[in-house]
A and B are shown apart, each in its own frame.
Chain A
Amino acid sequence: AQTVTQSQPEMSVQEAETVTLSCTYDTSESDYYLFWYKQPPSRQMILVIRQEAYKQQNATENRFSVNFQKAAKSFSLKISDSQLGDAAMYFCAYGGSQGNLIFGKGTKLSVKP
């Protein structure tokens, strides 16, 4: 069975600085997708970035980028130039053949002004 592990329950970053959130996963599948979702306080989860496993190039969305290491089964999220609005829970998720997402426990990110 696939698993997703986020080893950092909480992280903190200074405004305008860069922070990296870690995620590892376990799977025997070769074709899958990985996602980072953001959940601001009292708001719904929204997709931040998506990576297709067969693509070697790391996905990038503006200030958000990933470091996808397929062999190591690692999928970290880098947030550059952190803003106060980036404060949220961040969930790493795996989407494989089973058709539903498997989530990690989440990392709570605080941004200090």
Chain B
Amino acid sequence: EPEVTQTPSHQVTQMGQEVILRCVPISNHLYFYWYRQILGQKVEFLVSFYNNEISEKSEIFDDQFSVERPDGSNFTLKIRSTKLEDSAMYFCASSEWRTNTGELFFGEGSRLTVL
């Protein structure tokens, strides 16, 4: 069964460093998302991506964050200068349709620890 895959599974970085989290969505899906979950808190929406551009983003997704689909298969989340509060589990997801109607397929998550 097709899966969303994410790398790395865990990354430890120093505050101020750049981090890139990678995701390979399911191949025939058109909508891509990043969510994050700070330990013990809600899963929060960061950004959605469709047709090679951001379609929606939350207030969390500030100028430190960017997303890219560099080669038609990978979908990346970049954090330019990490802060302690960026420590969280980051989930990539993809879907055939907009999430409010269709099923979201999630990856296993990338745990980011900022020291």
| Contact surface of A with B, Cβ cutoff 8 Å | 4, 32-33, 37, 42-47, 50, 91, 95-106
Contact = CB atoms under 8 A, between A and B. Distances in A.
A43 B91 CA distance: 11
Nearest to A33: B100
B43 interface: yes
Contact of A43 (B48, B99, B108): B108
13 contacts: A42-B108, A44-B3, A44-B4, A45-B104, A50-B103, A95-B99, A95-B101, A98-B100, A99-B98, A101-B99, A101-B104, A103-B42, A105-B42
Contacts of A96: 100
Interface of chain B: mostly helix, strand, loop or mixed = loop
A45 B103 CA distance: 11
Contacts, number: 59
Nearest to B6: A44
Interface in B29-67: 33, 35, 41-45, 48, 55-56, 58
Contacts of B58: 100
A67 B113 CA distance: 39
- Ranked nearest first, the 3 interchain pairs of A and B with the lowest CB-CB distance are A95-B100, A103-B43, A45-B106
